[in-house]
Amino acid sequence: MEFKYVKNKDWYIPDIQCSSNSKKENIGKYGRMRERFLKEHKHSLYDHLVASEKLAAHLSNIDKEARNYLHQLIKDLAEQEDVDEKLKAKNQIEWMQKMNNIKNRAEEIVINELIYS
């Protein structure tokens, strides 16, 4: 394998690039969390995804799934607990407290089921 080098001041740096067919994916909060988890706890899976150039797509999919799942969980939990616009109009502070509680619980579920599995 032969590398091309680029001179940067007094240093020669290898000019390494990903293949042209790999596209840049948007990796959000949950994608970054998944990447960190894979690096720290699932070394072989992480190495396999990097080597096969599927890491960005995997992280993007996880992020998208996590956001969709979180949104659905928040909606379902709020409906189950009768946290709606009527409560918001009647008592905004109570509504905010309950919504924050629901969001935190839903995020914990998403993280445990999608990110750390």
Domain ranges of the chain: 27-115
Residue 4: predicted pLDDT? 82
* pTM metric for this prediction: 0.76
Q: How far apart (Å, rounded) are the C-alpha atoms in residues 50 and 65?
A: 20
Question: In a structure prediction context, what are the per-residue pLDDT tens digits for the chain, which is 117 residues long?
Answer: 567 888 888 888 877 665 544 455 678 999 999 999 999 999 999 999 998 899 999 999 999 999 999 999 999 999 999 999 999 999 999 999 999 999 999 999 999 999 998
CA–CA separation, 62 vs 31, rounded Å?
6
User: Closest by alpha carbon to 27, among 72, 57, 70, 71?
Assistant: 57
Question: What pLDDT does residue 20 have?
Answer: 46
Using CA atoms of 54, 38, 102, 78 in order, give the dihedral in degrees to the nearest 10.
30
